[in-house]
């Protein structure tokens, strides 16, 4: 069997371990060819840094898609995350329509914010567009902040606890047609992980691990990259979520022990093997 191929539509941030600097190494280590479509080039990510350089790549995306189409490329998965402008939403929608075959998996990480706050470069129109884009997904991977934005309810009014997380993923499933993996979902104070709704089975399941009592930047990107890799390898949704939860926990534990500043992301490199 040839090496599976994933189109990864995220930003490239030079420092801070997120998006493409996470997706490329993780997918490669999982034996998957990662073909990046950078949505923007930044000096750092926008969480915890000020004065970052930001080059919007919107105009390049359709040219990349057209060239790839002329080469007859196919992808086992299209995996999108942080977008650089409102116009990119329609471009990613077009990319999905162009490149989606009957077996192509569409994983959309609706990256918009964290800890109840929307990221600096996201406008309300971009958030509304992200919700529309996410309707095309087979699997979405929101955190709690993004779940509130997708449901169009204030962060403080999200349903809470294990029952609340179950309700959130079921409400986000588009009547059971879309799989939902809610990250940062916790069923007990000492635990964290994900709550997932699997559209293939109709089952909702919590996947939990011991909480590392510290926040880290970029864990959502590490999580969604491992999840995408495992799904492309043929894992079931709950098994892919388990792999992602366990890998993020291992990275978080190591990073906390090393005392690395939150904004530098998690030290996943030593654990890639
Ligand atoms: O981790 C999500 C993310 C991705 N890309 C950029 C970001 C963020 C979150 O802050 O700023 C550029």
Q: What is the mean pLDDT of residues 65-89?
A: 97
Q: How confident is the model at residue 1 (pLDDT cuts 50, 70, 90)?
A: confident
Residue 120 CA to ligand 1 center (angstroms) comes to 10
Give the position of tokens 């996201």: 122
Residue 47 CA to ligand 1 center (angstroms) comes to 6
Residue 17 CA to ligand 1 center (angstroms) comes to 9
Q: Distance between CA 205 and CA 165 in Å, rounded?
A: 10
Nearest CA to ligand 1 atom 8: 45
**What pLDDT is attached to residue 185?**
98
**What pLDDT is attached to residue 55?**
97
**What mean pLDDT is reported for the chain?**
97
Q: Is 18 in the pocket of ligand 1 (CB under 6 A)?
A: yes
Q: Is 17 in the pocket of ligand 1 (CB under 6 A)?
A: no
Q: How confident is the model at residue 130 (pLDDT cuts 50, 70, 90)?
A: very high
pLDDT at 123 over 90: yes
Q: How confident is the model at residue 189 (pLDDT cuts 50, 70, 90)?
A: very high
Q: Is 266 in the pocket of ligand 1 (CB under 6 A)?
A: no
Q: Is 183 in the pocket of ligand 1 (CB under 6 A)?
A: no
Whole-number percent of the chain with pLDDT over 70: 100
Residue 156 CA to ligand 1 center (angstroms) comes to 22
Q: Is 109 in the pocket of ligand 1 (CB under 6 A)?
A: no
pLDDT at 151 over 80: yes
Q: What is the mean pLDDT of residues 144-156?
A: 97
Q: Distance between CA 194 and CA 60 in Å, rounded?
A: 35
Q: How confident is the model at residue 94 (pLDDT cuts 50, 70, 90)?
A: very high
**What pLDDT is attached to residue 62?**
98
Q: pLDDT by residue (tens digit) across 52-63?
A: 999 999 999 999
Judged on CB neighbours under 10 Å (0-12, 13-18, 19+), 151 is: middle
Angle of helix 219-232 relative to helix 237-258, nearest 10 degrees, comes to: 150
- Contacts (Cβ under 8 Å, ≥6 apart) of 80: 8, 9, 10, 92, 107, 108, 109, 133
Residues found in the chain: 273
Q: How confident is the model at residue 7 (pLDDT cuts 50, 70, 90)?
A: very high
Q: pLDDT by residue (tens digit) across 9-64?
A: 999 999 999 999 999 999 999 999 999 999 999 999 999 999 999 999 999 999 99
Residue 1 CA to ligand 1 center (angstroms) comes to 34
Q: pLDDT by residue (tens digit) across 167-183?
A: 999 999 999 999 999 99
Q: pLDDT by residue (tens digit) across 215-224?
A: 999 999 999 9
Backbone angles phi, psi at 98, to 5 degrees: -70, -40
Q: What is the mean pLDDT of residues 137-165?
A: 97
Q: How confident is the model at residue 78 (pLDDT cuts 50, 70, 90)?
A: very high
Q: How confident is the model at residue 113 (pLDDT cuts 50, 70, 90)?
A: very high
Residue 203 CA to ligand 1 center (angstroms) comes to 30
Nearest CA to ligand 1 atom 6: 45
Q: Is 80 in the pocket of ligand 1 (CB under 6 A)?
A: no
């Amino acid at each position: 069997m040839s090496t599976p191929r994933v189109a990864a539509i995220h930003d490239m941030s030079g420092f801070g371990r997120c998006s493409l600097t996470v997706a490329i190494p993780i997918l490669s280590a999982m034996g998957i060819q990662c073909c990046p479509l950078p949505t923007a080039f930044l000096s750092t990510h926008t969480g915890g840094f000020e004065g970052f350089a930001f080059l919007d790549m919107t105009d390049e995306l359709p040219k990349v898609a057209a060239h790839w189409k002329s080469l007859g490329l196919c992808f086992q998965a299209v995996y999108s995350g942080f977008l650089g402008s409102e116009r990119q939403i329609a471009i990613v929608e077009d990319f999905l329509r162009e490149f989606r075959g009957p077996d192509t998996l569409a994983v959309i990480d609706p990256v918009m914010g964290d800890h109840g706050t929307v990221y600096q470069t996201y406008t309300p129109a971009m958030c509304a567009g992200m919700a529309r884009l996410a309707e095309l997904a087979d699997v979405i991977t929101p955190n709690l902040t993004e779940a509130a934005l997708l449901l169009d309810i204030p962060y403080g009014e999200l349903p809470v606890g294990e029952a609340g997380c179950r309700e959130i993923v079921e409400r986000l499933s588009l009547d059971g047609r879309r799989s939902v993996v809610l990250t940062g979902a916790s069923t007990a104070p000492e635990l964290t992980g994900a709550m997932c709704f699997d559209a293939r089975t109709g089952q909702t399941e919590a996947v939990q691990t011991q909480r590392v009592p510290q926040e880290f930047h970029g864990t959502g990107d590490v999580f969604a990259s491992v999840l995408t890799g495992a799904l492309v390898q043929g894992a079931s949704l709950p098994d892919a979520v388990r792999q992602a939860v366990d890998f993020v926990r291992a990275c978080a534990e190591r990073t906390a022990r090393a005392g690395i500043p939150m904004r530098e992301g998690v030290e996943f490199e030593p654990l890639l093997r």
